[in-house]
Amino acid sequence: MTRRAFVVWLLGLLAWGAALVVGFLELMERMGRSSRLLDGGARSQAADGARAEQREPRQEAEAVPLFAFMVLSDLHISKHDPGTIRHLKQALTDIEQMDTRVGAIALTGDLTEYGTDEEYGELRKLLAAYKLPPVYANMGNHDYYHVWLDRSGQFNPKTMPHGKTDWQSRERFQQFFGLKKPYHDAWVNGHHLIALSQETYVQERPEVGEGAWYSEEQLRWLEQQLAPHKDGSPVFILTHQPLPPAGQDGKSHQLIPAQRLRAILKPYKNVFVFCGHRHQDFAGKGEHYVKEGFHYFHNSSVGRVLNEKYEHVAKEKAQGMYVEVFADRVRLRGREFASRKWVKEADWTVPFA
């Protein structure tokens, strides 16, 4: 091989080697880019998954109430009316087995038909038979009705009060719930329930009739209980008798110091007041939500649901109200315990002010 031919051969070999190195380097670069793309995609998918995981609990948390409780009114427990016992069993069974959370049960008066030891004993037995959250209550007019019963247990207005007193009725209620006064409050899971209570009846104050008389002591106590809610945090107040129209004080079958109560509530936002006594069917024509300076709800009844003519026609019905508290709103729904269904006519969402 001549010197010239050798030089040409060597230069070709070097060019081929250089091309091989460049090709190898390009291949490695492509593989690196592919690897980075795959790794980046995996990281992106992982990040998306993490974001999805973060979103899911947040969305789920928004759907779960901070606190929820059931309002039951007008149980009227009596062995002489087995329907009242059957309906309370339906309500407690439904509450015990509900998928939604129930952090407390609030009873807004007329727990019994006549306020007798026998009826309270039956109520105790019914409540003890179920796994329930804490139970809070106030008194209704029927819880004072023991004064109408004579020695034979018959309703006898001619010789009322038959040697009995309103004080005895209050004591019976207070002992049942371990209270020093018929009115009281409770903080449950950071949420405030206030149970106002009728303090007397016709044996002590014949002029009250079937109305709810509150003492000045109780009203001053209410002012103290409301003080923590100057920040706008919600508060839930239980009464038994309904309020009369705005601007009036009540009478028989109504909350009597109504103007004083409204004045006490006026400075506060996000006050929810519940009453019973009317027994009106959620599916009927009765007005169940009235918005004043506060939010005012008329509950139905567990023991006897009545129509707009106050007739006990739908004897199979037993109803109550379910209250869910969220960070920015309260949702309130009527519940039919006999069929374990929500009452479509009773569904309100109230945003916080």
pLDDT value at residue 2: 54
Strand 289-291's sheet: what is its strand order?
184-188, 191-195, 235-238, 271-275, 295-298, 289-291
Q: Cβ distance 338 to 326 under 8 Å?
A: no
pLDDT value at residue 101: 87
Positions of the chain with pLDDT lower than 70, given as ranges = 1-62
Torsion angles phi and psi, residue 74, rounded to 5: 55, 65
pLDDT value at residue 246: 94
- Average confidence score pLDDT of the chain: 87
Torsion angles phi and psi, residue 97, rounded to 5: -105, 5
- What's the CA gap between 245 and 273, in Å, rounded? 15
For the four alpha carbons of 171, 173, 174 and 175, in that order, the dihedral sign comes to positive
HSE (side-chain half, CA atoms, 13 Å) at 331: 15
pLDDT tens sequence across 178-209: 999 999 999 999 999 999 999 999 999 999 99
- What's the CA gap between 242 and 258, in Å, rounded? 9
| Amino acid code (one letter) for 321 | M
| Amino acid code (one letter) for 49 | G
Q: Cβ distance 65 to 102 under 8 Å?
A: no
- What's the CA gap between 268 and 231, in Å, rounded? 9
Three-state DSSP at 324 gives strand
pLDDT value at residue 131: 95
Residue 217 CB burial class (10 angstroms; 0-12, 13-18, ≥19):
exposed
Diameter over CA atoms, the chain:
147
Q: Cβ distance 331 to 307 under 8 Å?
A: no
| Amino acid code (one letter) for 53 | E
Three-state DSSP at 149 gives strand
pLDDT value at residue 63: 83
- The tokens describing 104, both together, are 């407390």
Whole-model pTM over 0.95: no
pLDDT value at residue 55: 34
pLDDT value at residue 29: 47
User: DSSP class of residue 143?
Assistant: G
- What's the CA gap between 130 and 349, in Å, rounded? 30
pLDDT tens sequence across 293-333: 999 999 999 999 999 999 999 999 999 999 999 999 999 99
Torsion angles phi and psi, residue 131, rounded to 5: -90, 100
pLDDT tens sequence across 255-284: 999 999 999 999 999 999 999 999 999 999
